[in-house]
Amino acid sequence: MVEETSSKPLYEKIFENVKQDIVAAKYGIGERIPSEKELADAYGVSRITSKKALELLAAERLIVRKPGKGSFVADAERDFADSAVAVQEPPGAAPTKMVSIGLVITDFGNSYGTGLIYGMEEAAREHDCFLVLRRSFGIPDNEDASIQKLLELGVDGLIVFPAQGEYFSAEILKLVIEHFPLVLVDRHLKGVAAASISTAHADAARNATEYLFDLGHRHIAFLSPPTDTTAVEERIEGFIQAHAEQGVAVDRELWINAVTSTLPNSFNEANIERDIAIIMRHLQEHPAITAVFAVEYNIALLAREAIVRLGRRIPEDYSVVCFDSPPTSLGGGYAFTHIRQDEEQIGRLAVENVLRIMKGETVPRKRLLGAELMVGESTGPARA
């Protein structure tokens, strides 16, 4: 059995062990070596992992793979006699293999995600590797299927933006156990020892809430979906911390944590109208509210529509802040005061960390990046 406590991917360990057996003549030229299934059973890994180990052996020309028959120790003179590459390269050198990194992301748009992918693509180009993208739309089954397909495609590492909700993907857990090069973005999974890169959500939410306090707001509605991803939890934590530091009591009666129309498979006209009606009724039932903290941009749009339908104004009657907001059409400002995450840097670091893990290097378990509060047109002094 291989030692699983090392940071080196399991497929590399299997590769090294079998390579050593070949060099030591445990398997002679032309002799069959263990199959994908046999290696998977012997090392307690998936066939995806054992297959990757055999692919590395074939890339180094230590074995030849014969469909339907198995893998055999190569005879360099006979098996690669017609290969120009084999003549040009020094003995034992592996042919150049283009590195590919799979990306599974819930979705992306102009408010969040596009900058993330831009940063990843830039880093991939600089390091001469390729990015292969699949969207899960926040649906766990899509996420699992996307990971499986990318592994079958032969990607060398994976970046995953985990699906919404309390969900521990069996595919992600399998990758972690087998030390496959993996980096999570935007959030981390509790109890899962995978490297992650995200915004310092708690600090960012605290700063935005303090900004509202500075404007005189004391009764702030907090709007979020009914999910408990680490990103949402940390934003709630920052919101509460700001209240504690200002000596303002947290009034959970002012919160709505059941906004569902922005979730996957729920973005339809009926649900949007339902959420707008809920927010309208909430503001009417709690007239002391002077500001709204929306946990994401699309929820801020719902709040704005609810306020407009009530015949109220932003920011004269209600101030609104949120995470992420695209520039206005003229590019001269922002409709919402918002927290701008450093998407490009998150994307860049995700690619670089996957490549470092592939080399056997240690990367931080949890990397948090700062965010910037961008003042837009949606905030002003609290009404009397």
Q: Looking at the domain assignment, is residue 4 inside a domain?
A: no
Q: Do 216 and 315 belong to one domain?
A: yes
* Joined tokens for residue 192: 């899962």
pLDDT at 87: 39
Q: What is the pTM of this model?
A: 0.76
Q: Which domain holds residue 232?
A: 201-341
Q: Number of folded domains in the chain?
A: 3
Q: Do 272 and 337 belong to one domain?
A: yes
Q: Looking at the domain assignment, is residue 384 inside a domain?
A: no
Q: Do 219 and 299 belong to one domain?
A: yes
Q: Looking at the domain assignment, is residue 378 inside a domain?
A: no
pLDDT at 84: 42
pLDDT at 168: 66
Cα gap 249→213, rounded to integer Å: 12
Q: Looking at the domain assignment, is residue 192 inside a domain?
A: yes
Distances in whole angstroms, Cα of residue 375 to Cα of each of 241, 320, 340, 349? 21, 11, 10, 27
The last residue of one of the domains, among 88, 112, 138, is 88
pLDDT at 173: 84
Q: Looking at the domain assignment, is residue 94 inside a domain?
A: no
Segment holding 49, helix H or strand E? helix 47-59
**Low-confidence stretches of the chain (pLDDT beneath 50):** 1-6, 83-95
pLDDT tens sequence across 146-187: 999 999 888 999 999 987 655 567 888 888 888 899 999 988
How many CA within 13 A on the CB side of residue 53? 30
Q: Do 307 and 349 belong to one domain?
A: no
pLDDT at 234: 94
| DSSP codes, 125-146 | HHTTEEEEEEE-TT-HHHHHHH
Q: Looking at the domain assignment, is residue 358 inside a domain?
A: yes
Q: What is the CATH number of the domain that holds 132?
A: 3.40.50.2300
Q: What is the CATH number of the domain that holds 75?
A: 1.10.10.10
Q: DSSP alpha helices (H): ranges in 127-198?
A: 140-153, 170-177
Query: Is residue 274 within 8 Å of residue 261, measured between CB atoms?
Result: yes
pLDDT tens sequence across 317-371: 999 999 998 877 655 567 899 999 999 999 999 999 999 999 889 899 999 999 9
Q: Do 176 and 222 belong to one domain?
A: no
Q: Do 73 and 136 belong to one domain?
A: no
Q: Do 140 and 61 belong to one domain?
A: no
pLDDT at 162: 86
Q: Looking at the domain assignment, is residue 110 inside a domain?
A: yes
pLDDT at 172: 86
Reference 10, options 142, 133, 160, 180; nearest CA is 180
Q: Do 235 and 286 belong to one domain?
A: yes
Q: Do 257 and 332 belong to one domain?
A: yes
pLDDT at 321: 98
Q: Do 222 and 325 belong to one domain?
A: yes
Cα gap 2→40, rounded to integer Å: 11
The last residue of one of the domains, among 34, 65, 88, is 88
Q: Do 215 and 324 belong to one domain?
A: yes
The last residue of one of the domains, among 31, 66, 88, is 88
pLDDT at 164: 62
Q: Do 171 and 146 belong to one domain?
A: yes
Q: Looking at the domain assignment, is residue 224 inside a domain?
A: yes
